[in-house]
C-alpha cells in the first residue's frame, strides 16, 4: 500500500534541553569489530516524514529534541486512534545502501509517557520496507513498551536491494491514544559478515504466561465443562447378564472439534519421499485440511493446478479428513486473476465472471467441503466495490448457499485477537456482518485468521475478545493461526495458551494452523517442523494437547455391574471390548446428550 506522507506534527529542536534518551546497550566487542554500517540517516532530526491520518480530528504531534549526548529524541503524541495503525506513521529513508540478503540489526530505545489502555503500555509497530511499491517489508514487529526506557534489538535479513533513499525505516503510532519517546535509532548493516543468530534479539513475552496463571486454570476447567461428557459403557453377555472383568478400550478417533491445517497441493499429488512424509504427517496430526492457495480464484483458473488440486481433494476424502473451502471471493485487485486485474475496472462483465466462478467451483466441491470462506478480508480489501455495489457481497453468499445448502458459509477476516486494536476491529467486523445479514446474506459462521507476530496478545484478553461475539451467537473458527517469531520457546508457550483459550470458548468450533512444515510455510519461522522434519517445541505442544490430553483414550476393566465410567471429549469413538479371547468393536458418537452405551459380547 502506497502511503502519502504529510508533515502534520510540530518540529522542534532545542539544543540544550535536558532530554534523557536511553543509551543503547553496548554491542558485543566481536560485533563492533565487524564495523557494521549504520543505514539510519545522519540527518534524521530534520529529514523525516510524518503522516497523520487524523486530519478531521485533533492533529497528532510529532517533535524532536536533542538529548544531552546530542542524539535526537523523537516524541509522538496521538489524540485519537485510527482505523489502521499505519495511518499515523513516522519514517526515514535509508542513508546507506542495503543489498538483498544483508544481515541487519535494528536498534532503538522507547518509552511510554502515557497510553490509554489497561496496562498503560504504548503500542508501536516498527518495520523496514521498500520506499516505493510493492513496499515489501523485510521486518515488521509490534512493540509494547512501558514508562521505563527499553532498548529493542531486532535482527533480520534484507529481502530486497535498497539503494540510498530506496528503503524506508518506519514506526507507526495509530493503535492507541498515547504519547511515546523514541531515541537512539540505528539500522546496522553487517552485510554477510555474521550469522543472523549471532546478533542480539530482544525477548518478548505476554501476561499470563506463568505456569499457574489464573486465566489458564479457569479455561481448563471450562474445557472440562463444555468439551467433555460422561462416557458410560456396560458390557453384557447374550442373555443380558453384566460381564465383570471385560477389557474396554474407548478411543476418540475423530474429534468433533476441527483441529486442522493449511496444506500445500505441491506436496499432495506426488510420490517422492518428502511428499510421502508430508502426507503422513498431515494425516497423523490433523483431522481437517484447508488447501492454502489452489482453491482461490487464480489457482482454480490454472488448468494444471486445478487437476493437481483434484488429486489432493481425492486424497483428503480417501483419508477421511474434512475439507474447508478457502476462498470464493477475495475482493482485492492483487488477489484477482491477471486476466481481470490488468483490465480497467476489471473488464466488462466482471460481476458475471465472479458469479460464474462461484457456480463452477462450489458445484465441484459440493459434498466435499464442510464450509466455505465466501468472502476473505472484506474489511480490508475493497477494490471490487469501487466498480460494483457492496450489496453484491450479499449475492455471493446467496449463490453459494443455493448451490451447496449443506456447506457452512463463513466471513473470514484478520486483525482480531492479536493486538491492542482487536476490540476496535471486532466492532467493525460485527457491523459488517450486521450489514450483510440485513441485506439477506446467509452468513452462518465467522472466520478469524489468528496470525500472531513477536508480541502476542494476553490470552485472557483473547477470551474477552471472543466474548464480544456472544450476542451474535454464530460459531467461530480460528482459520489461519501461526506465531511468526524465531523465539521457539515463546512460540510454543503461546501456541499452548492460544489453543487453550480458544478451545475453552463456547463459540469456537475449530482451530486451523496455517501450515506446519518449514518449506511449505508462508512464514518459515512459524512452522512446527523444520526442513529436516525435526519437531520444534510448538509441535510438541500441539501433540500434547490435541493428540494426547484432548484425544481421549480410555483403558479399563468392567466392574461387577459390567460397567466402566469416565469422561471423554466429544467426537466419534471406537470402543473395543475383549473377554475370554472374544472381541467386539463398535462405533460411538459422544456429545452432551449421548446416552450410556450397552455392548453385547
Residue 569 belongs to a domain: no
Q: What is the pLDDT of residue 2?
A: 28
Domain of 447: which CATH number?
3.20.20.80
Q: What is the pLDDT of residue 67?
A: 81
Residue 238 belongs to a domain: no
Residue with cell 486445478: 306
Residue 542 belongs to a domain: no
Q: What is the pLDDT of residue 18?
A: 35
DSSP 597: E
**Which of 388, 378, 480, 385 lies closest to 428 in space, CA to CA?**
378
Q: What is the pLDDT of residue 145?
A: 86
| Residue ranges of E strands in 103-176 | 103-115, 122-130, 137-145, 150-157, 167-172
| Count of Cβ atoms closer than 10 Å to residue 183 Cβ | 25
The string of pLDDT tens digits covering residues 383-424 is: 999 999 999 999 999 999 999 999 999 999 998 998 888 898
Residues 191 and 332 occupy one common structural domain: no
Residues 183 and 304 occupy one common structural domain: no
Residues 296 and 154 occupy one common structural domain: no
- Write down which residue in 532, 549, 573 finishes a domain: 532
**HSE (side-chain half, CA atoms, 13 Å) at 334:** 6
Residue with cell 517533535: 63
- Write down which residue in 502, 532, 562 finishes a domain: 532
Residue 2 belongs to a domain: no
Residues 375 and 466 occupy one common structural domain: yes
Alpha-carbon distances of 41 from 48, 98, 215, 400, 597, rounded to whole Å? 9, 13, 45, 53, 73
Give the contacts of 32 (CB within 8 A, at least 6 positions apart).
26
Helix/strand/coil (H/E/C) assignment for every residue in 402-449: HHCCCCEEEEEECCCCCCCCHHHHHHHHHHHHHHHHHCCCCCCEEEEC
Residues 188 and 280 occupy one common structural domain: no
Residues 185 and 270 occupy one common structural domain: no
Q: What is the pLDDT of residue 71?
A: 86
Alpha-carbon distances of 351 from 53, 252, 267, 340, 443, rounded to whole Å? 33, 46, 34, 11, 20
Residue 595 belongs to a domain: no
- Write down which residue in 486, 508, 532 finishes a domain: 532
Residue 521 belongs to a domain: yes
Residues 268 and 361 occupy one common structural domain: yes
CA 435/CA 390 separation, integer angstroms: 10
Instruction: Label the pairing between strands 451-452 and 122-130.
Output: unpaired
Residues 48 and 141 occupy one common structural domain: yes
Domain, as residue range, for 494: 259-532
The three-state secondary structure class of 278 is helix
Query: Which pTM does this prediction carry?
Result: 0.84
Residue 334 belongs to a domain: yes
Residues 187 and 271 occupy one common structural domain: no
Q: What is the pLDDT of residue 68?
A: 77
Residues 179 and 263 occupy one common structural domain: no
The string of pLDDT tens digits covering residues 516-554 is: 999 999 989 999 999 999 999 999 999 999 999 999 999
Q: What is the pLDDT of residue 12?
A: 25
Domain of 38: which CATH number?
2.60.120.260
* Residue ranges, the chain, pLDDT below 70: 1-24, 118-119
Q: What is the pLDDT of residue 24?
A: 56
Residue 241 belongs to a domain: no
Residues 174 and 300 occupy one common structural domain: no
Domain count, the chain: 2
Residues 263 and 191 occupy one common structural domain: no
CA 4/CA 52 separation, integer angstroms: 10
| Count of Cβ atoms closer than 10 Å to residue 334 Cβ | 9
Amino acid at each position: 500500500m502506497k502511503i502519502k506522507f504529510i508533515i502534520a506534527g510540530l518540529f522542534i529542536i532545542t539544543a540544550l534541553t535536558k532530554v534523557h534518551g536511553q543509551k543503547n546497550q553496548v554491542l558485543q566487542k566481536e560485533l563492533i569489530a565487524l564495523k557494521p554500517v549504520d543505514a539510519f540517516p545522519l540527518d534524521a532530526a530534520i529529514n523525516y516524514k510524518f503522516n497523520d491520518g487524523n486530519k478531521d480530528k485533533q492533529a497528532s504531534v510529532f517533535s524532536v529534541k536533542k538529548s544531552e549526548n546530542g542524539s535526537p529524541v523523537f516524541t509522538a503524541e496521538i489524540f485519537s486512534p485510527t482505523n489502521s495503525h499505519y495511518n499515523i506513521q513516522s519514517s526515514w529513508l535509508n542513508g546507506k545502501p542495503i543489498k538483498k540478503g544483508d544481515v541487519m540489526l535494528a536498534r532503538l530505545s522507547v518509552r511510554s509517557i502515557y497510553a490509554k489502555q489497561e496496562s498503560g503500555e504504548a503500542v508501536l509497530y516498527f518495520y523496514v520496507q521498500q520506499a516505493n511499491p510493492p513496499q515489501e517489508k523485510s521486518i515488521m514487529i509490534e512493540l509494547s513498551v512501558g514508562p521505563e526506557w527499553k532498548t529493542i534489538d531486532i535482527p533480520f535479513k534484507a529481502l530486497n536491494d535498497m539503494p540510498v533513499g530506496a528503503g524506508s525505516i518506519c514506526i507507526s503510532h495509530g493503535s492507541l491514544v498515547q504519547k511515546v519517546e523514541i531515541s537512539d535509532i540505528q539500522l546496522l548493516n553487517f552485510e554477510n559478515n555474521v550469522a543472523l543468530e549471532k546478533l542480539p534479539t530482544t525477548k518478548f513475552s505476554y501476561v499470563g504466561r506463568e505456569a499457574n496463571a489464573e486465566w489458564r486454570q479457569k479455561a481448563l476447567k471450562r474445557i472440562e465443562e463444555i468439551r467433555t461428557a460422561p462416557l458410560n459403557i456396560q458390557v453384557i453377555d447374550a442373555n443380558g447378564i453384566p460381564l465383570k472383568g471385560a477389557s474396554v478400550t474407548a478411543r476418540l478417533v475423530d474429534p468433533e472439534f476441527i483441529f486442522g491445517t493449511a496444506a500445500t497441493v505441491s506436496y499432495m499429488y506426488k510420490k517422492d519421499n518428502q511428499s510421502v512424509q508430508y502426507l503422513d504427517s498431515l494425516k497423523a496430526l490433523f483431522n481437517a485440511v484447508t488447501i492454502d492457495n489452489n482453491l482461490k480464484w487464480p489457482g482454480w483458473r490454472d488448468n494444471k493446478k486445478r487437476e493437481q488440486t483434484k488429486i489432493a481433494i481425492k486424497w483428503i476424502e480417501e483419508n477421511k479428513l474434512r475439507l474447508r473451502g478457502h476462498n470464493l471471493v477475495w475482493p482485492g485487485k492483487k488477489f484477482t486473476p491477471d486476466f481481470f486485474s490488468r483490465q480497467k475496472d476489471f473488464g466488462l462483465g466482471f460481476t458475471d465472471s465472479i458469479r460464474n466462478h462461484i457456480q463452477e467451483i462450489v458445484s465441484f466441491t459440493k459434498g466435499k467441503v464442510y464450509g466455505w470462506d465466501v468472502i476473505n478480508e472484506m474489511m480490508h480489501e475493497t477494490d471490487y466495490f469501487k466498480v460494483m455495489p457492496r450489496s453484491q457481497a450479499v449475492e455471493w453468499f446467496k449463490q453459494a448457499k443455493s448451490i451447496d445448502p449443506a456447506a457452512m458459509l463463513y466471513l473470514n477476516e484478520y486483525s482480531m485477537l492479536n493486538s491492542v486494536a482487536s476490540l476496535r476491529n471486532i466492532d467493525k467486523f460485527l457491523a459488517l456482518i450486521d450489514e450483510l445479514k440485513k441485506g439477506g446474506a446467509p452468513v452462518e459462521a465467522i472466520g478469524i485468521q489468528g496470525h500472531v507476530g513477536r508480541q502476542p496478545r494476553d490470552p485472557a484478553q483473547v477470551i474477552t475478545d471472543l466474548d464480544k461475539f456472544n450476542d451474535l451467537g454464530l460459531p467461530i473458527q480460528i482459520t489461519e493461526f501461526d506465531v511468526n517469531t524465531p523465539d521457539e520457546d515463546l512460540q510454543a508457550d503461546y501456541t499452548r495458551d492460544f489453543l487453550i483459550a480458544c478451545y475453552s470458548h463456547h463459540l469456537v468450533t475449530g482451530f486451523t494452523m496455517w501450515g506446519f512444515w518449514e518449506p511449505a510455510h508462508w512464514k518459515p519461522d512459524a512452522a512446527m517442523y523444520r526442513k529436516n522434519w525435526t519437531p520444534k517445541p510448538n509441535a510438541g505442544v500441539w501433540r500434547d494437547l490435541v493428540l494426547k490430553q484432548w484425544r481421549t483414550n480410555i483403558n479399563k476393566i468392567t466392574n461387577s455391574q459390567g460397567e466402566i465410567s469416565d469422561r471423554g471429549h466429544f467426537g466419534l469413538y471406537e470402543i473395543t471390548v475383549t473377554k475370554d479371547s472374544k472381541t467386539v468393536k463398535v462405533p460411538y458418537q459422544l456429545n452432551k446428550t449421548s446416552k450410556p452405551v450397552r455392548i453385547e459380547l
